[in-house]
Every structure is written in structure tokens, then in C-alpha cells.
Amino acid sequence: MELHHQTLHEVHEKLKKKELSSVELTQAVFKQIGKTEKKIKAFITLTEEMALEQAKKADAVIQKGGNFPPLTGIPLALKDIFLLKGTRTTCGSKILSNFVAPYTATSVENLLRDHAVIVGKLNMDEFAMGSSNETSAFGPCYNPWDLKRIPGGSSGGSASSVAAGHCFGSTGTDTGGSIRLPAAFCSLVGIKPTYGRVSRYGVIAFASSLDQVGPLAKDVTDAAILLKSLAGHDPKDSTSLNLPVPDYQKSLGRKIEGMTIGIPKEYFVSGLEPEIEKAVRDAIEVYKKLGAKIREVSLPNTDAAVPTYYILAPAEASSNLARYDGVRYGFRHPEATDLLSLYKKSRTEGFGPEVKRRIMLGTYVLSAGYYDAYYLKAQKVRTLIRNDFTAAFKECDLLLTPVAPSAAWKVGEKTDDPLKMYLSDIFTINVNLAGLPGMSLPCGFTKEGLPIGLQLIGNHFKEETMLQAAFAYEQATDWHTRRPKL
């Protein structure tokens, strides 16, 4: 297979054996970017000069010999919501189009500590609000499996860049499905870790009780390597938990015989496309053969997840986005005459329509007179949703569901109907509301050749169980070995 389409752990072996240098690897990646980026539009900013410098330093580490971290010298890319000191960080928005990060996010520091090479900052939905990457102020991003289609969102560039061989892994954020949905649509492995597992310091906030950082990768081993590097306690993020980070790669290969996997019946409802349902049911059969015990479970409040999320997430966003006022960060309207007009003009021109919709919705549900009816009620329903999962995990080690009701749709298909767009998150949002870890992995293709994703959901801080089961499935199938023809 061409170098740029190989996995992270495969190229790591080559670096280790000195069959290849990190500079050569980085150059190969930029060659592929040069060939196909025009069609994909995965990047908002490329950092070639910096990447080659980092690659040289990584080569020096490799030359020294001894053990070096598996990310040493590996080209990766960051969703443009992660701060990287001295580089532009736009969050997909006009309001931050000239914002240069004054410091680096802790999760990115972790990747740099492990000598990773950063090739650029990736396209995304504006402020991570969207499911298709179409709300980006920098234009859409395209799915390498079918260039007429969206890659999923909001971490669209994070998925399309890895699938197109523009990097060997990427970072994403997931507030309601933004890692898992694009991973599913681009035939990748994507992990949304437990709330608190990865530091969010230096990651631009959308909805702080839901946001979590995670990796997108070509297979389960690569995802495990990336998660290990990203995760860990950070005193700078008060929501990050002080728990040891297991060596996730070690959990791969353990037998899953006797593991109980729950199938929530509310996830197999009308609206789920038959081809997707078949692929997921086939995956259940694979798990049976591997010795897992399959059991139907019920999560009765599943229906309430989309409305609950679309009250809570906009409420938190309206508060988080109040800081973009034309004074402290980014775009400042040149024609403002006083403070109020500066706020008004900068925000009116700086934010796109979806972000404005969320700010207005969020401000409304938090306002006096509506707070109890909407925000408080949604908080109570959130508890019910979490309780459903707690009950299910008394009987099961893992839950298995589809990632989305359909495969990737055509660019423009859902842009004029926000509700349709919101409904694509129906199977992923619940996991964020409950703070659980969830992951997406390839489980087939539609007749049209579009990737289908399988979701595994673990109990809090049970990423290892999830990865163990994902790896067992991956070993029994070959979906993860396919690459798009570009």
C-alpha cells in the first residue's frame, strides 16, 4: 500500500527499523496533500515549515536509539479548535479568522512531548456546531469516498484528512457526535473518551458540560496510541480527572469471550436505513461468534436526547461565545462608533447563521421566565437519560449501536433544514449527555460504496473494554483495510 495510506503503527515500525526518516515521511504526506487537497479542502492552515522542523528533531530522537514513543516523527493534524502557539486558530469562524494562539492546548502539548509532527489545522463546522462541516466560514470539506458528499461534522477535516492520507491521525472534539459521525462517514476509528479523560485546556469551548477531545485514526491500534498520548490529568482543566491512564494498546488482543454486549432496542427504530441496520446486525453476529453474550436492553428516554441536547448545548454556547465581542479576540468591526455598535457589528458580521441561531436559542432558554420551563427541565431529563445508561451497565459491559441513521449525504442536502441536520446526531448525543466513552469503527459499506460505522459505548472510564472489543471485531473483519480511491 502507498506510504500515505499505511497506518500509524506500520510507519512507526519503518521509522524504528530506519527504513524511513520522519522528514521523508512528512515530505510524502505533503506530496499527497499537494495532489488531493484541492478536492478535499480538509485544511484551513498548513504548517509545512514547522512540520519539517519537527520532523528533523524527531529524526534526531530516533537516531539516538533506545525506546521512543510511537508518535515520534508521525505527521498528525489538529482540528482548528486546538490552540497551537504561534499558529492561526480560527474555530472555522470569520470572527477568529486572524486569531493567532498565544499558547498551546495541553492535549497538543502531550502529542508534542511524544515528538509528533503537526502538518496543519483542519477544517470544521463553525465553533463545532454542525454535523456536515458545511457551517465552516472557510467553505465545505469533501468526503474522500465520494467527493459530492460531506465528510460528517463537526470534525470534518479531521476525518477527511486521515482518510485521504494527508496525515496518520488527527484530533477532534465531540460535543454531540462530532468525532464519531465523521469517523463513521469516512471509514475511520474515532473515540469520544469519558468526560474528564482528556484535558480541554486550550481547546475553544462550545458546550462545556459536553465537550470532549479525542482521536480519529485508521484503525483501533492507531486510535489507542493517540488516546494514550492525549489523555491524562491536567491541573489547568478543573473537569479533568486525576486517574492513571492505562496503556490502551495493551488491552488490545485480550479475548472478549463472556463479555456481555447490550443492544438498546430504541436504537433500531424507523428512520434507520435498512442497509445500515443490516451492517450493524451482521456485526452483532460477529460478536456472537467471538463468544460475546448479546442481550437486548432498553434505554427508554432515548427519544428525549435530541431536544434535551438542543436546549443545553445552545444554552452553554450562548454563555461561552459571549467573549467574542470585538474587543478581546479576533474580528473587530472597522465601522463601529461606540462600544455597543462595536459588539453588535462585530458579532453580526463575525458569526455565521448557525452560530447565531444557537446563541439566540441559548439566550432564550436561559432568560428569566423560560429558565425553569426549558433549561431546568432539560437538566432533569438529562439525569433520566444518564440513569438509563447506569441501569443498562448493571447488566452489560458494553453497548452496541449504529453511529448514525444514514451514511454520508450529499453536500447541500440538509443545509436549509436545521432539524434534519440535528436528527443525524440521534444515536451519538446521548453518550455526551451521560458523559460516557463512545467510539465509532468501520463495519461495512452501502451499495453505493459509502462507509458505515458501528458504535460501541462503554461505562465511565472503561475505554479499555471498548478498545478491546473494537480490536476483536477489527481482527475478525477487513473493513478497516480499505482506502478511498482519489
| Residues identified as active-site | 79, 154, 178
Burial environment of residue 339 by CB neighbours within 10 A (0 to 12, 13 to 18, 19 or more): exposed
User: 128 or 159: whose CB is closer to ligand GLN?
Assistant: 128
- Residues in contact with ligand GLN, shown as a per-residue x/- string from 312 to 331 under the rule CB under 6 A: -x------------------
Q: Among residues 87 and 155, whose Cβ is nearest to ligand GLN?
A: 155
Q: Is 456 in the site for ligand GLN (CB under 6 A)?
A: no
What is the chain's length? 486
Under DSSP, is residue 209 helix (H, G, I), strand (E, B) or coil? coil
Residue 178 binds ligand GLN, judged by CB under 6 A:
yes
Backbone angles phi, psi at 230, to 5 degrees: -70, -35
Q: Which DSSP category does 273 fall into? A: -
Sign of the C-alpha dihedral, residues 320, 435, 242, 86?
A: negative
CB closer to ligand GLN out of 323 and 420:
420
Asked if 251 is part of the footprint of ligand GLN (rule: CB under 6 A), the reply reads no
What nine digits make up the cell of 458? 462503554
For Cα atoms 168, 176, 306, give the angle at the middle one, nearest 5 degrees.
150
- 117-122 β-sheet, strand order: 43-46, 117-122, 75-79, 170-173, 213-217, 189-192, 438-445, 451-458, 398-402, 260-264, 293-297
Residue 93 near ligand GLN by CB under 6 A: no
Show contacts with ligand GLN in window 189-208 (CB under 6 A).
Answer: 206
CB of 376 to ligand GLN, least distance (A): 21
Applying CB under 6 A, among 177, 196, 214, 458 the residue interacting with ligand GLN is 177
**Applying CB under 6 A, what is the total number of residues that bind ligand GLN?**
13
The nearest distance, CB 176 to ligand GLN, in angstroms, is 3
Distance between CA atoms of residues 336 and 365, nearest Å: 29
C-alpha cell at 348: 453580526
Comparison of 128 and 470: residue with beta carbon closer to ligand GLN? 128
Residue among 158 and 240 whose Cβ is closer to ligand GLN? 158
- The residue range among 39-47, 126-134, 219-227, 400-408 that interacts with ligand GLN, by the rule CB under 6 A, is 126-134
Residue with cell 435498512: 274
Among 6, 21, 107, 175, binds ligand GLN (CB under 6 A): 175
| CB 218, CB 431: distance < 8 Å | no
Q: Which of residues 133-162 bind ligand GLN (CB under 6 A)?
A: 154
C-alpha cell of residue 60: 534526531
> Smaller CB distance to ligand GLN: residue 143 or 178?
178
Determine the Cα–Cα distance for residues 462 and 276; give it in Å rounded to an integer: 26
Report in angstroms how near the CB of residue 425 gets to ligand GLN at its nearest: 5
Give yes or no for residue 129 binding ligand GLN (CB under 6 A): yes
Q: Which of 221, 223, 203 is nearest to 213 (CA)?
A: 203
What whole-number distance in Å separates Cα of residue 172 and Cα of residue 158? 6
| CB-nearer residue toward ligand GLN: 50 or 304 | 304
Interface characters, 409-438, with ligand GLN (x: CB under 6 A)? ----------------x-------------
- Rounded CA-CA distance 22/317 in Å is 40
Nearest partner of 207 among 184, 182, 174, judged by Cα: 174
- Is residue 240 a contact residue for ligand GLN (CB under 6 A)? no
Q: Which of 131, 212, 251, 430 binds ligand GLN (CB under 6 A)?
A: 131
**184 vs 313, beta carbon nearer ligand GLN:** 313
Burial class (CB in 10 A: 0-12, 13-18, 19+), 163: buried
Q: Report the C-alpha gap between 258 and 288 in whole angstroms.
A: 10
Work out how close the CB of 438 gets to ligand GLN at its nearest, in angstroms, rounded to a whole number. Answer: 11
Query: Which residue has cell 452483532?
Result: 284
List 55, 95, 111, 128, residue binding ligand GLN (CB under 6 A): 128
Binding of ligand GLN by 130 (CB under 6 A): yes
Binding ligand GLN (rule: CB under 6 A), the pick from 37, 126, 146, 174 is 174
**CA–CA dist 384, 392 (Å, integer):** 13
Residue of the chain from 73, 120, 176, 437 that contacts ligand GLN (CB under 6 A): 176
Residue 364 CA from chain centroid, whole number: 28
Which residues of this protein are in contact with ligand GLN, per CB under 6 A? 128-131, 154, 174-178, 206, 313, 425
